Structure 1
């Protein structure tokens, strides 16, 4: 006779994907999805909020990890109860909304996801175009930021035709490692710049600065709209909680040292993009490239 536990385990086995992502590769995708723009903007956000900014980054990271695990548990429950969702599902997050709150829930999730994804794309496209413009300004003086945006859109558009994260895992791995290298180089160059910025003075905060920085910090640990798709590609979806803890821990290990060094070295002279604050040289150029 089967018990509830047997039924649960059998359903989990059925939904697992033997060719899917492991805990490690899933955590790498989480890091690649979240880190990037946030690590460049956080030092300025901390400068505009003061020391409490470091506490907020950790708190937001903990909250994001917890909500990520809830999304993972929700998807596991849905695949246990609804066999039709055990195969490839192109839109798992809207499905979660529909199962929870009906058609209205699905529509709400779709609207919020599209707004977030569009806004995120704009942020990263402008950031990348700005970095390229800075890197090649002496070679391509006639190509402005606006043209670089168009060129980037043309280069990146084919990538959206790929199916799911497991189809382009090298990009996720590359994003994680290049972000890690960028953090290391930013810290090294910032420490080299320390003597040039002594003594360090800090700006005072105000409601506008604080609210703007608050949004930057939340954005730096966001990216939940992608998580259900990553979960759906895992070998063992019930292990997503481990991947979430590992992924967010790595993100915070990237964020905190970079934010601390930027805050301590440049102070009120920090640019919204810390790359613009470090001295020009091999480190800065390498960060621009990667």
Structure 2
């Protein structure tokens, strides 16, 4: 393995940033979830009825268990091959290389990039559509900028963030993101409490949909929004106490619910 310090931020050749405490690791995990579970998950689970409880419980327990196993693999790998610490910018490839060689490491890297790309596109589309709707609402329909243009603007604004080295270099950004999640949660609950409309009609209409379709829909949303595997090792390698990853995962999931 190359003896190169990959913990250095891309824009700072003299980075002295400290690692992540367990608290900031929890912040980063909640940041990965974003606001979509707050906005879309409750309705999907309600449509499942009694089965929604089992879907949420089983899916999240599986996520927690497998993510914890992944973290333990990294801890074991550091004991077997201490030089793996210098490949922490690409932890999944480094972990795979120890077990199956460089070819499989390249394949895992491809799958990881594909997963991150596939997960990022829906987020960009939804954010762009929200900006388009915001322009329409704020201007009473006179300003209608297509989300196709907004997605270019949003992507350009977010691009510099990708130049940061790792989660430890984005503490402020993650904290701001979690603050937005909490704000959205409070605003949604406030709107629900102050709303005078009766949602019972909409709920009754959804009862005509087969339960298995609602269950599959809810599972898809949960599996997509609570999948922390593509980034969990990136968070762990920056932690000061890597063995506490399981605690951070449990706290992150508990805080989200």
User: So what's the TM-score if we normalise by structure 2?
Assistant: 0.83
RMSD across aligned positions (CA) = 2.2
C-alpha spacing 1:93/1:217, structure 2 compared with 1 (3 Å): same
Distance 1:106 1:74 in 2: 15
Distance 2:196 2:112 in 1: 41
Q: Where does the alignment leave 5 or more consecutive residues of structure 2 unmatched?
A: 1-15
Match of 1:153 in 2: 155
Shift of 1:115: 2.0
Distance 1:53 1:64 in 2: 16
Shift of 1:128: 1.0
Query: Which among 217, 221, 226 is matched to residue 222 of structure 2?
Result: 217
Match runs of 1:77-226 below 5 Å? 77-87=76-86, 89-137=88-136, 138-139=138-139, 141-193=143-195, 195-198=197-200, 200-201=203-204, 202-206=206-210, 207-226=212-231
> What is the number of residues matched between the two proteins?
236
Q: Secondary structure at the match of 1:160?
A: helix
Distance 1:93 1:194 in 2: 50
- Contact 2:96–2:104 under 8 Å retained in 1: yes
Distance 1:34 1:99 in 2: 30
Q: Please say if 1:34 is aligned against 2:33.
A: yes
- Contact 1:49–1:205 under 8 Å retained in 2: no
Match runs of 1:17-32 below 5 Å? 19-32=18-31
Q: Where does the alignment leave 5 or more consecutive residues of structure 1 unmatched?
A: 1-16, 254-290
C-alpha spacing 1:196/1:112, structure 2 compared with 1 (3 Å): same
Shift of 1:208: 4.2
CA deviations on 1:180-239 (whole Å, 9 max, x unpaired) are: 221121122123225433555242343444323321121121121111111111111111
